[in-house]
Each structure stands twice: as C-alpha cells, then as structure tokens.
Amino acid sequence: MLAVILSGGSGTRLWPLSRETYPKQFLPVVTEESMLGETINRSLKLDASIRVMAITNEDHRFVVAAHLQGLAADNMANIILEPVGRNTAPAIALAALAAAEQNPEELLLVMPSDHVLTDQDAFKRAVALGTEVAARGKLVTFGVVPTAPHTGYGYIKAGNDQDGYADVAAFVEKPDEQTALGYVEDGSYLWNSGMFLFRADRYLQELGEHQPEMLAACQQAWAQKEGDLDFVRVGAEAFATCPDDSIDYAVMEKTRDAVVVPLDAGWSDVGSWSALWELQPHDDNNNVCHGDVITEDVSGSYIHSEGRLIAALGVSDHVIVETGDVVLVADRARVQDVKKLVEQVRAQGREEHRFHKQVHRPWGTYEGIAMGKRFQVKRITVNPGASLSLQKHHHRAEHWIVVEGTASVTRGDETLLLSEDESTYIPLGVTHRLTNPGVIPLGLIEVQTGSYLGEDDIVRFEDSYNRV
C-alpha cells in the first residue's frame, strides 16, 4: 500500500496561526506533533511496510521533506511537486501514475495532511475493510459517522449495505442547518472525509473514462518529470493545461463502482477555530487556553498566545489569537468568516497572509526584530550541518554577530570560523556564505544596511537546495 498525503493547502481558516508559506498542516495545533506529522505516523501504524508519498508545491517542499525524512525515512517514496494547483483529482492522478510504474494494482490510501483522527484502532479497522474492497476494483471513500448536524461538511448518502460497507447512493453538497438535521436523523448520511482507497490502475481507468483531458495532461506532465533531490518535478506546461477539479466531481460522483466505508474514529478536518475549540480539553469555564493567558469572568472561548500575555475580561464565546505580528479577536460563531479578513489583508498588499514573523527556510529560520529607514535587524537560526547559498547582494551590506553555536563564514576569498560573541562584516557586493559546522543550532543577529532590503536582492551562485 502507498499512503498518498495531500499537502498543498494554505489553511486560511486558521489564520493568523496558519499562513500560506507555513499553513496549519505544519503546526502543532492539536498535539505536540504537527498535523502532517500525525498523518505520517497514522500511516506508519497501519503497516510497517507501507510507503509514504506526499504531493505538495514549491513553497512547502522543504518542510514536507523534513517531516518525511524525520518520521518515515525508511518508508519514504516520492515527493511530487505540483507546478500549479489543479485540485485533488489531478494530484491523485500523478500519484497513481507514479505507483503504476512499479505495480499497476498497488493500493493508494489518499489522505489530506491536515485532518485529526483520535481513534487509531477504529481507523485501522476501516482501512482493513476498505483494503479488501478496493483490491476487488472498487473505489472506496470513507464516510464519517456524524455527531451533529454540521453545515460545514459535504455528505455521502449510503445505499445498499454490503456487509460493513455500502454502495454510494449520492454525494451531497454542504447543507443548511435544517437539511443537515434531517440527514442526521435519517441515519444513512455520512460526512465526506476526503479520504479514499483504490488501486492505481482503477483510478486511472475511471479518470480516463470520465475526464480524458485531465488524464492526458497528467500523463504528459508525468512523462516530462525530472528528479531534484528528494522531489519529482512534473512538466509544468503540460500540467498547467490540466482541468481543475476535485476527485469527488471528476471521478467519485460519476463512477459506478464507488463504495463508502463508515468511519467512527474521532475525525475532524480542523476547519475553523471553533472546531479546534471543540477538539481540545476545556477548563471549568469551558475555555481552551494556550500560552501566556489570564482570564476573569470568561467562558466558552478559545485563547491562544504565541508570546505576549493575553488578559481577557468579561467575554464569552470568543476566539482570541496572538502571534508575533497579528492579534485576531472574533466571535466564535463567526470564525468561518476569518477568510474575509485574509482577503482584506491580501487586497491591501500586505504580507501577513503569506508569512509568519518567523520565516522557515530549508536551512533553518529567520525572524525580523526591527526595521527602519536603510536598516533591518533579523535573528537567524541555522540547523546543524546546514548552509545558506553562496550569494551576494547588490543593495545591502550585512553585519553578523554570533550569539549561539559556531559559524563558518565564506567572505570573498576568506573563510572565517566564528564563535559566540564574535562578529564579521559582509560589504555590499561581496560573495558570501554562512554554514553551521556544529551539532547545535547556530544563532546569530544580522544587521542589514543599504538602500534596498528586500528578500529578492539575492544573487545565488551555489545552493545545496537547488533554489534559483
């Protein structure tokens, strides 16, 4: 079996904790492990021999690779990079084409990277049943047994019972509250989890029957693939011609072989702050509090501090989230509208929808500390053994002060070894590189001075990560 993890989403509904360049699947929002990490671990617990594949994009590739290398190094398959987003049906087609090269009948267990399942045993039982059915050529989807008349999920109507699973009678769009209540009372409707299980050849066969243009574009893109470190890059122009559609619309609603396996395993897509409030333990006042928080006469609220003290007084049913650069205050009943705030941020030409104050790079992180006219101060952390690119800048000079660890600095023709409390200066236009030769993270303060301090003022000559 090949576990196919879809990890291309931007997670705007959990903004400001989730950002485009570092969305919710990379964050430990439910447990101490990230949601992607939980999904990888959940896959490995199904079978020791399972292989794990991820499908992601250019922005997220190194974070996904770090997760797989750290948690599933012995089980790691391809990391496929989508040059543009084309929804789930084409993404899964790429996975099926990759699997079919080795074994056309290999089973694909398709899972989003940002869902929660609290009952591993129940999940394992559902997958075992789905495996038996999928091996016979059926296309399996997992329908979550509803716990409430939820209006934020699509539904699957189960048809004829087939000894533990059922034929799919219909896929239903997100309903209004009254309709959702009727679905729950009916008993034959399940939440659409977005998880699937089928043979690679059967998915490609159904895609070719119902979406031949999509299959042809994916086949052409796959034929043009190239390897790059741990990644597989498909043909960008060919993939860009692919129709944009979900697996539900493209295949599952049209095939005559769709079946649904009920899943009762504590599932949530963590699609909003209220969903996160529902998932986590509450205090005596029905609050969920994380970080530096004090409350007085507060109830039914989700309060999350990344650093600063949040002091809340006399509020009920609120969401309050503090990060280094944004504070969100919302009515818990309105959190589905957080995306409207993100749209405003984007429309104003700001960057808070894309970047955290701490920005992740394949070599480590950097965080802005202060910025003014012709200067900028950052804290840079370089992972053990990692190295920035060999580069130069046209518009800025840089001062580096080591505060933790050891730095190996290339500066023109020189190589310097700096320890704590030592510093160096990189003049404008001089080729330079920063490397951490040690076994602990390298921390330094960078002071930039110059007429332009944008991140695009980088000319790379060599790079360990094949960035342009």
Rounded mean pLDDT of 240-244? 95
323 and 389 share a domain?
no
The Cα 203–Cα 210 span in angstroms is 11
Give the span between the Cα atoms of 30 and 192, in whole angstroms: 21
Partner residues linked to 227 by β-bridges: 232
Q: Is the pLDDT of residue 200 over 80?
A: yes
Instruction: Please write the tens of the pLDDT for every residue from 330-371.
Output: 999 999 899 999 999 999 999 899 988 888 889 999 998 988
- The residue ranking higher by pLDDT, 216 or 229, is 216
345 is written with which tokens?
A: 């941020």
Quick: pLDDT tens for 127-183. 999 999 999 999 999 999 998 898 888 999 999 888 899 999 999 998 888 999 999
Q: Could you tell me if 295 and 397 lie in one domain?
A: no
- Position of tokens 């084309």? 86
pLDDT digits (tens, 9 = 90+) for 263-309: 999 999 898 999 999 999 999 999 999 999 999 999 999 999 999 99
CATH code for the domain of 372 = 2.60.120.10
Domain boundary among 224, 241, 268: 268
What gap in Å lies between CA 29 and CA 362, rounded to an integer? 22
In a domain, 235, yes or no: yes
* Sequence-separated (6 or more) residues with CB below 8 Å from residue 112: 5, 6, 9, 39, 194, 195, 269
Tokens in use for 236?
A: 């960008």
The answer to whether residue 468 scores a pLDDT higher than 80 is: no
Distance CA 438, CA 402 (A): 13
Q: What is the pTM of this model?
A: 0.88
Query: What percentage of residues in the chain have a pLDDT greater than 90?
Result: 85
The residue that leads in pLDDT, 327 or 147, is 327
Q: Which two tokens stand for residue 19?
A: 């950002």
Element (H, E) at 53: strand 51-57
Residues 440, 376, single domain; the answer is yes
Helix, coil or strand: residue 137: coil
**Domain range for 143:** 2-268
Report DSSP letters for 1-44, one per residue: -EEEEE-----GGGTTTSBTTB-GGGS-SSSSS-HHHHHHHHHH
- Reading the block at residue 299, the tokens are 């109830």
Whether 8 shows a pLDDT value over 80: the answer reads yes
* Residue 400 pLDDT: 97
CA 157, 161, 162, 164 dihedral sign is positive
In this predicted structure, the answer to whether residue 34 has a pLDDT above a threshold of 90 is yes
pLDDT digits (tens, 9 = 90+) for 435-462: 999 999 999 999 999 999 988 899 999 9
Instruction: State whether 200 and 301 are in the same domain.
Output: no
pLDDT of residue 132: 96
Judgement on whether residues 14 and 85 belong to the same structural domain of the protein: yes
Is it the case that residue 83 has pLDDT exceeding 80? yes
Question: Of 239, 268, 297, which one is at a domain's C-terminal end?
Answer: 268
The answer to whether residues 300 and 250 belong to one domain is no
Q: Do 241 and 382 fall within a single domain? A: no
What pLDDT shows up at residue 455? 87
Q: In the listed set 268, 296, 311, which residue is the last one of a domain according to the structure?
A: 268
* Number of domains observed in the structure of the chain: 3
The answer as to whether 278 is a domain residue is no
Same domain, 258 and 299: no
Tokens standing for residue 390: 């060999």
State the CATH number of the domain containing residue 168: 3.90.550.10
